[in-house]
């Protein structure tokens, strides 16, 4: 599996650990920076990875900023991206089983290296359960399209 990983300065220290865990799981890893702990703007790095995912040039992405929140906000704006900010192996497992997450987000100032390695390992090997969860993901797409068309901010009209 082709996985692109990126971070801002808040995620820089964790990126090396995540890269190692991804490679250990068999992934072909593309590292999109940043490569120092100098301050950068997290949207610039999030969108590098999101661009590759949208173009089909990688299969999944991992985004790391200080809390994971800023990069999650970026990622879940993009059609077809299902980003999960995970804090432990349980949330990582559920993000795959129920949400088919194709984007893992981590907080470099929140999650330690051991927990992050476990998260990556579980996230890489857990399949999507599909079934009722596929129907719910389809419903997200349907309600998003409806809201975008109406521009009124209500997703509950039929
Ligand atoms: C950078 O200081 C920090 O704001 C960023 O890494 C991230 O936590 C944003 O959500």
**CATH code, domain with 12:** 3.40.1400.10
Ligand 1 atom closest to the CA of 109, numbered from 1: 8
Quote the domain boundaries for residue 149.
130-158
What's the confidence (pLDDT) of residue 28?
A: 98
- Average pLDDT over every residue of 97-104: 98
Q: How far is the CA of 65 from the centre of ligand 1 (A)?
A: 6
- Which residues does ligand 1 sit against, CB inside 6 Å? 8, 10, 42, 65-67, 69-70
Ligand 1 centroid, distance to 94 Cα (angstroms): 25
Looking at the fold, whether 76 and 21 belong to one and the same domain comes out as yes
What percent of the chain has a predicted confidence (pLDDT) above 90?
A: 94
Tokens of 34: 């940043």
Q: Which atom number of ligand 1 is nearest to the Cα of residue 107?
A: 8
Whether residue 153 is found in the same domain as residue 79:
no
Please state the atom number of ligand 1 nearest to the C-alpha of residue 65.
6
CB 60 within 8 A of CB 104: yes
Q: Are residues 21 and 56 in the same domain?
A: yes
**Confidence at residue 152, expressed as pLDDT on a 0 to 100 scale:** 62
For 10-28, write each residue's pLDDT tens digit. 999 999 999 999 999 999 9
On whether the CB atoms of residues 40 and 72 are closer than 8 A, the answer is: no
Site to probe by mutation for ligand 1, drawn from 6, 7, 8 as the one with most ligand atoms within 8 Å of Cβ, is 8
Do 112 and 46 lie in a common domain? Answer: yes
Arithmetic mean of pLDDT, 133-139: 98
**For the whole model, what pTM was predicted?**
0.95
Question: How remote is the CA of residue 139 from the centroid of ligand 1, in Å?
Answer: 31
Residue 36 has pLDDT above 60, yes or no: yes
| Structure confidence at residue 151 (pLDDT) | 73
Domain count for the chain, please give it: 2
137 and 112 in a common domain: no
> Which whole number is the average pLDDT over 44-57?
98
Mean pLDDT value across residues 112-125: 98
| Helix segments in 37-154, DSSP class H | 42-54, 69-75, 89-97, 113-125, 132-150
State the average pLDDT for the chain: 96
For ligand 1, atom 7, the nearest C-alpha belongs to 66
User: Active site residue: 7, 58, 65, 86, which one?
Assistant: 65
Say whether 86 is catalytic: no
In terms of domains, do 90 and 37 share one? yes
Considering the domain architecture, whether residues 136 and 59 belong to the same structural domain is answered as: no
For the cut 90, the answer to whether the pLDDT of residue 72 exceeds it is: yes
142 in the same domain as 72: no
d(CA 122, CA 94): 10
Would you say 45 and 108 are in contact if contact means Cβ atoms under 8 Å apart?
no
How large is the average pLDDT for residues 76-83?
Answer: 97
Same domain, residue pair 21 and 77: yes
**What average pLDDT does this structure show over 57-80?**
98
The reply to whether 136 and 116 lie within a common domain is no
């Amino acid at each position: 599996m082709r996985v692109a990983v990126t971070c801002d300065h808040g995620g820089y220290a964790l990126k090396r650990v995540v890269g190692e865990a991804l490679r250990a799981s068999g992934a072909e890893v593309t590292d999109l920076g940043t490569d120092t702990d100098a301050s950068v703007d997290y949207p610039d790095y999030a969108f590098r990875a999101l661009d590759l995912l949208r173009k089909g040039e990688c299969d999944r992405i991992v985004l790391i900023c200080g809390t994971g929140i800023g990069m999650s906000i970026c990622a879940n704006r993009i059609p077809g991206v299902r980003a999960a900010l995970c804090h432990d192996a349980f949330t990582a497992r559920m993000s795959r089983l129920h949400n088919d997450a194709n984007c893992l987000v981590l907080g470099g100032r929140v999650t330690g290296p051991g927990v992050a390695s476990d998260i990556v390992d579980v996230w890489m090997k857990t399949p999507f359960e599909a079934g009722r969860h596929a129907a719910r993901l389809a419903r997200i797409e349907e309600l998003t399209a409806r809201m975008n068309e109406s521009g009124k901010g209500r997703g509950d009209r039929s």
